[in-house]
Amino acid sequence: MSTRRGPGTAGAHRPPRRPMLRSTSPARVHARVARWKRDGLTVAFVPTMGALHEGHLSLVRRARASADRVVASIFVNPLQFGPREDFACYPRPARRDRALLAAAGVDLLWEPLARDVYPAGHRTRVRVVGLGDVLEGASRPGHFEGVTTVVLILLEVVAPDVLWLGQKDAQQALLVERMVGDLRLPVKVRRGPIVRAPDGLALSSRNAYLAPAERAQAVALSRGLAAARAALAAGERSAARVTRAVRAVWRRYALVREDYVAVVDAATLEPLKDLGAARRVLVAVAARVGPARLIDNFEWRSR
């Protein structure tokens, strides 16, 4: 008889902390997780690209509470970077990241090699039609094919019970949820809330690109969203006026260059006009501040 515990007790009886295991081998990671599952243990997975911050670590803590074992990965995925994006200079503080994950209670860290994720001749891409072509997908062509392809590969190796993603990348989380549902993958996708600095800026690995003056201007994203939220709370139901509330704030920040301000259905990403008829609204923004391209969002429920 299986000794697997239900979701209400997962993670409640963890053994004393042991040193974090590390591997680059997909086969060894898969074998370790399979052994845990044979022992009746549940497994949560937190994929990352490294350059960790408190947002990542909050997902690890949620993963620990949701399962008996936690696997994390660090892989800077070349497939999701465009030809003029920051793949080459993306921060890779490997030693620091390992220490943070070990301290947060990760049981197994997988640091795959690019040749193992994408062997020679690899041609398959995973595309979520429609959801991946707007917002971030429109600004970064091919980005989401890279995301969904790598997530599917990672899930095939780790085979977790629970996958934890962050709300800051709301569109990415939605695409992965849709992919998991459409392909009937046996994993539950959970989202952790956005973690912010004291001044409201959403934590992001790319914040490290900001010079002090640029960092001071980057709060425009969260302050613009706060104005949109206040408008909704006051009864505003026009998407155009909610959008204007964000831009009115941004005009006070000279270094902020808008990519998009979008008010969409949170489940379909379809643009909205009258927000009174929508159950879930996503207000999402993207802008460049100095060398960094930053995103932020919030979800609002009409009832």
Active site residue 53: no
60 Rama class: left (phi>0) / alpha (psi -120 to 50) / beta: alpha
Q: Residue 120 is encoded by which pair of tokens?
A: 């020679």
Count of residues making up the chain: 303
Phi, psi at 69, each rounded to 5°: -135, 150
Buried b (16+ CB within 10 A) or exposed e, 11-23: beebeeeeebebb
Hey, which residues does 261 pair with through a beta bridge? 285
Sequence-separated (6 or more) residues with CB below 8 Å from residue 295: 136, 168, 169, 202, 204, 221, 284, 285, 286
Helix axes 143-158, 170-182, angle to 10 degrees: 60
DSSP assignment of 113-171: -HHHHS-TT-------TTTTSSTHHHHSTTHHHHHHHHHHHHHHHH--SEEEEEGGGHH
Kindly name the residue from 13, 53, 56, 122 that is annotated as catalytic: 56
CA distances from 183 to 106, 128, 152, 159, 165 (A): 28, 11, 10, 14, 18
CB 104 within 8 A of CB 61: yes
Helix (H, G, I), strand (E, B) or coil at 68: coil
Which tokens belong to 147? Answer: 């995301």
Helix or strand run (H / E) with residue 178? helix 170-182
Q: Which positions are annotated as active-site residues? A: 56
